[in-house]
Structure 1
Amino acid sequence: MQKLKVGIIFGGQSSEYEVSLMSCASVIKVMDKSKYEIMPIGINKHGNWKLFLGSIEKIENDTWQSEAIPVLLAPDPKYNCAIEINNGIEKRHYFDVAFPVLHGPRGEDGTVQSIFELMNVPYVSCGVASSAICMDKVFSKKILAQSNLPIVDYKVFYKNELKGKISDIISEIENSIGYPCFVKPANLGSSVGISKVSKRDELSDALFAAAKYDTKILVEKSVDAREIECAVLGNSDPKASLPGEILPSRDFYDYSAKYLDGDKSKLLLPAPLSSDLTTQVQELAIKAFKALDCSGMARVDFLMDKKTEKIYINELNTIPGFTKISMYPKMWETSGLSYKKLIDELICLALERHREKNELTLA
Structure 2
Amino acid sequence: MAKQTKKAKQTKKTSTPKLRVGILFGGRSGEHEVSLLSAASILKSIDSTKYEVIPIGITKQGQWLSSGDAQHLLAGDTKPAPTRKKNAATKSITLNASADLAQGSTALAQQNGSLAQSLDVIFPVLHGTFGEDGTIQGLFELADIAYVGSGVLGSATGMDKTAMKQLFAAAGLPQTPHVNLLRSEWKSDAKRCIKRIEKKLTYPVFVKPANLGSSVGISKVHDRSELAPAMDLAASFDRKLIIEQGVGGPGAKPRELEVAVLGNDSPEASVVGEIVPGAEFYDYNAKYHSDASIPIIPAQLSKSESKEIREMAIAAFRACDCAGLARVDFLMEPAFKNKKGRESKSARIYLNEINTMPGFTSISMYPKLWEATGVPYSQLIDRLIALATERHKEKQQTTFTRV
How far 1:164 moved relative to its partner?
2.5
Matches for 1:93-242 after TM superposition, within 5 Å: 93=115, 94-224=118-248, 225-242=254-271
Conserved? CA contact 2:328–2:354, under 8 Å: yes
| 2:29 alignment partner, SS class | coil
Quote the Cα distance in structure 2 between the aligned partners of 1:167 and 1:79: 48
RMSD: 2.0
How far 1:291 moved relative to its partner?
1.1
How far 1:324 moved relative to its partner?
2.8
Q: Unpaired runs of 5+ in structure 1? A: none
Conserved? CA contact 1:21–1:62, under 8 Å: no
- Aligned-partner residue type, residue 374 of structure 2: G
Instruction: State, as a whole percentage, how many aligned pairs show the same letter.
Output: 48
How far 1:31 moved relative to its partner?
0.2
Calculate the TM-score normalised by the size of structure 1.
Answer: 0.94
How many correspondences in the alignment? 358
Q: Structure 1 pair 62/306, CA: closer, same or farther in 2 (3 Å)?
A: farther
- Aligned-partner residue type, residue 246 of structure 1: I
Quote the Cα distance in structure 2 between the aligned partners of 1:222 and 1:133: 22
Deviates most, 155-164 or 29-38: 155-164
Residue 251 (structure 1) aligned to one of 270, 280, 287: 280
Query: 1:32 aligns to what?
Result: 47
| Larger Rg, first or second structure (1 or 2) | 2
Q: Unpaired runs of 5+ in structure 2? A: 1-15, 83-89, 249-253, 336-345
Query: 2:36 aligns to what?
Result: 21
Deviations 1:61-102 (A, max 9, x none): 3469659921246965995783147xxxx5444211010000
Q: Structure 1 pair 254/219, CA: closer, same or farther in 2 (3 Å)?
A: same
How far 1:54 moved relative to its partner?
6.7
Query: 1:271 aligns to what?
Result: 299
Conserved? CA contact 2:55–2:70, under 8 Å: no
Residue 385 (structure 2) aligned to one of 338, 347, 352: 347
| 1:242 alignment partner, SS class | strand
Conserved? CA contact 2:63–2:80, under 8 Å: no
| 1:241 alignment partner, SS class | strand
- Aligned-partner residue type, residue 37 of structure 2: M
- Aligned-partner residue type, residue 310 of structure 2: Q
1:288 aligns with 2:312: no
Q: Structure 1 pair 80/347, CA: closer, same or farther in 2 (3 Å)?
A: farther
1:8 aligns with 2:23: yes
Query: 2:6 aligns to what?
Result: none
Calculate the TM-score normalised by the size of structure 2.
Answer: 0.85
How far 1:52 moved relative to its partner?
2.7
Conserved? CA contact 2:93–2:107, under 8 Å: no
- Aligned-partner residue type, residue 3 of structure 1: K
